[in-house]
Copies of this chain bind each other. A is one copy, B any other.
Amino acid sequence: MLICRVVGSIWATRKEDHLKGFKFLVVQPETLGSFDTQQPVFIAVDRIGAGIGDQVMVTRGTPATFIHHEETVPIDALVIGIVDSVDIASGDSQ
């Protein structure tokens, strides 16, 4: 999973079937620790009430569809948690 920040929302009226009612957020992978290269934003489905500014955990790929929905849906990213806290050890963890 990636640690991301919710930075926006996106709307599409004309959609593939089976996607009505899904909420789509724009998320930005966070730069943490010694890695500070910006990565591109992408879109994730949210079913747990995340909002702009929230730090979230995002699952990508087929597992994003393992949501026990009544049918499979063509999505590839899902917000699976809203982060309470993240502890990164300092550089001496080696």
| Residues of A that sit less than 8 Å from B by CB | 1-3, 5-19, 24, 26, 28-29, 31-35, 37-44, 47-49, 52-53, 57, 59-68, 71-89, 93-94
Cα–Cα, bound, A1→B73 (Å):
12
Q: Are B43 and A34 in contact, with the CB atoms below 8 A?
A: no
CB distance from A29 to the nearest CB of B (A): 7
Within 8 Å by CB of A52, from B5, B38, B68, B93, lies: B93
Whole-angstrom CA separation of A87 from B24 in the bound complex: 11
Task: State the CA gap A64–B8 with chains docked (Å).
Answer: 23
B40-A35 in contact (CB<8A): yes
Q: Which of chain B's residues have a CB closer than 8 A to the CB of A43?
A: 1-3, 57
